[in-house]
Structure 1
Amino acid sequence: MTPPVTPVPASALVAPVSCWADDEVRERTRRTRRRLLLAAARLFGEDGYHGASVADILAAAGLTKGALYFHFRSKYALAEALVTEVQRSWLSIEIQIADRGLDPLWRLLVETDAYVARWMYDAVVRGASQALGDPELLAMRGHWFERWETATADLLVDASAAGLLAAEVDPRRAARAVVAIATGNYTLADGPEDFWARMTESWEGLLPVLTCPAWRAGWADSPWHTRPAPDPEAYRLAREP
């Protein structure tokens, strides 16, 4: 039986922009905490976790040791808080995309765009990702990629159940391939724009193999191919303290 394919409006294909997910209501406390996290993220992104000292982070944030230790016990605690913020702000994005009523494959495409855009322009995500390459944080890194692969597999399993995948596609093996390709593109890309272009080209190669003819035809005629690239300024403003 051929599954129904509903046209997707261009507005539903725009990746939501990251925003803070912390729940601190006191403005002064919230701003101080965010300044510390942003300073740590930017220095982790430039110098790595090991290369960024507490003194460097405080200087970049324009804050004192007292301010740091009021919020975080150590540099390691800062890194943990960054990863927590990445996870919580991602949950907000997932909810926004889920509310659009897309089928599992379209949802996967928009979620992947959002993931890629955060890697490109979200200072918190970029800093946390760079920090997780340090041996001291490898346990957190494994959890990060495990969650991404599981979420991708779940969407592809749902797509398979709906008849949207080609009959011979194993959704869990396909999920591993998607995550590996995205990670490889991030490593190989010559800057953010190249990363976005590489992921677009990767999907253009993968989707004709992964999907059923009806879904593939709908995708070929969709506005996905002219969707806007992420706006770096929007991501910068969204992470202002």
Structure 2
Amino acid sequence: MATRRALLETAARLFAERGYAGTSVNDMSTRSGRTSGAVYFHYASKEGIALAVVEDAFATWPRLRARYTDRSVPPLDRLVSLSFEIAHALVEDTVVRAGARLWAERDTIDASLPDPFALWTAATTRLLTQARAAGHLAHRVRPAVAAPALVRAFFGLCTLTEALEDRRLVATRLADWWHITLPLFQHDIDSTGVLSRVQAERTASGTVPAPQRVTAGTTARHPTAVP
């Protein structure tokens, strides 16, 4: 299992850096220090490795359930917190980053990759439904309609921020987006309160750094509070 995992993580790094077409099994062998035979022993094909990378964390999100099922936290707070957790993984987790790139390149892969948005959308629908039951959601918002739109807008924001600006800015742009979006969903508008609570929880947990302000052309990180 340790060798299989090491090979998957090596493949993920290469896929994240070079994409599917730019990565070969020989590359994986060289980078991992193992033979091509060892790679094929654990994975039958390059397509099989790509599928395993996508399924590992990007499409199945093993940490997702614990993040959104804590009923002691208001549902909209959980939704926002979950978005920051996923955004952080898309920026910092090599396997997740590789999964996202492979899914974007799925037409070049001779394998059926799972829909990575199904679980996100189901979780978002459930949280919006809980928010409605708690009286926190605006009456005009229909959870089953709003959830797919939120998930797609969120993923587009993460993708375009990295492509057009700097991936270290994703958390900051996400906070800006929630400031705009939350008032459209909340029954009693309190976007600043939700974001402040989420940021306090993230900081207290120590698992996710604060959003970054990055000046173009620099590499320094400057933590700031959520706007």
Give the 4+ runs in structure 1 shifted more than 6 A. Answer: none
In structure 1, C-alpha distance between the alignment counterparts of 2:193 and 2:98, rounded to whole Å: 34
The equivalent residue for 1:9 is: none
Q: 2:113 — aligned with what?
A: 140
Structure 1 distance, partners of 2:112, 2:44, is 19
| Counterpart residue number, 1:74 | 45
Match of 2:198 in 1: 224
Residue number in structure 1 paired with 2:86: 115
Matching of residue 205 in structure 1 with residue 183 in structure 2:
no
Q: Which runs of 5+ in 1 are unaligned?
A: 1-28, 233-241
Q: CA deviation at 1:120?
A: 0.6
Matching of residues 186-201 of structure 1 within 5 Å:
186-189=158-161, 190-201=165-176
- Write the mapping of 1:18-33 to structure 2, written as runs, cut at 5 A: 29-30=1-2, 32-33=3-4
Structure 2 residue 33 is matched with structure 1 residue 55? no
Task: Tell me the CA shift for residue 66 of structure 1.
Answer: 2.4
Q: How far has the Cα of 1:156 moved from its partner?
A: 0.9
**TM-score scaled by structure 2?**
0.78
3-state SS of paired residue (1:168): coil
Cα displacement (A) at 1:159: 1.4
Per the alignment, residue 153 of structure 1 pairs with 125
Aligned length: 201
Shift of 1:84: 2.3
TM-score (norm 1): 0.74
Deviations 1:89-129 (A, max 9, x none): 72234225524731221111111111111101000000111
Contact 1:121 1:192 in 2 (8 A): no
Aligned-residue sequence identity (percent) comes to: 33
Equivalence for 1:125: 96
Q: Counterpart of 2:172 in 1: which secondary structure? A: helix
Distance 1:95 1:205 in 2: 27
Q: Distance in 1 between matches of 2:190 and 2:110?
A: 40
Question: Hey, what's the Cα distance between the residues in 1 that align with 2:17 and 2:192?
Answer: 42
Distance of aligned partners of 1:89 and 1:146 in 2 relative to their CA distance in 1, 3 Å threshold: closer
- 1:12 aligns with none
Aligned to 1:3: none
User: Which shows bigger deviation, 158-167 or 99-108?
Assistant: 99-108
Are the aligned partners of 1:132 and 1:138 in contact in 2 as well (CA < 8 Å)? no
Give 2:145's aligned residue. 173
1:181–1:202 CA contact under 8 A, matched in 2? no
Letter in structure 2 aligned against 1:140 = L
Once residues 106 and 221 of structure 1 are traced to their aligned partners in structure 2, the CA distance between those partners, rounded to angstroms, is 8
Match of 1:19 in 2: none
Q: Structure 2: state its 5+ residue gaps.
A: 211-227
Please say if residues 15 and 23 of structure 2, whose CA atoms lie closer than 8 Å, have aligned partners that are also in contact.
yes
Contact 1:185 1:199 in 2 (8 A): yes
RMSD: 2.6
Task: Deviation per CA, 1:64-91: give whole Å up to 9, x if none.
Answer: 1222122110111111211221158722
What displacement does 1:177 show?
2.4
Residues in 2 aligned to 1:87 and 1:187: alpha-carbon distance in whole angstroms: 14
Measured against aligned partners, the alpha-carbon deviations of 1:221-240 in whole angstroms (never above 9, x if no partner) come to: 843356549349xxxxxxxx
Deviation at 1:63, TM superposition (A): 1.0
Query: Tell me, what secondary structure is at the counterpart of 2:139?
Result: coil
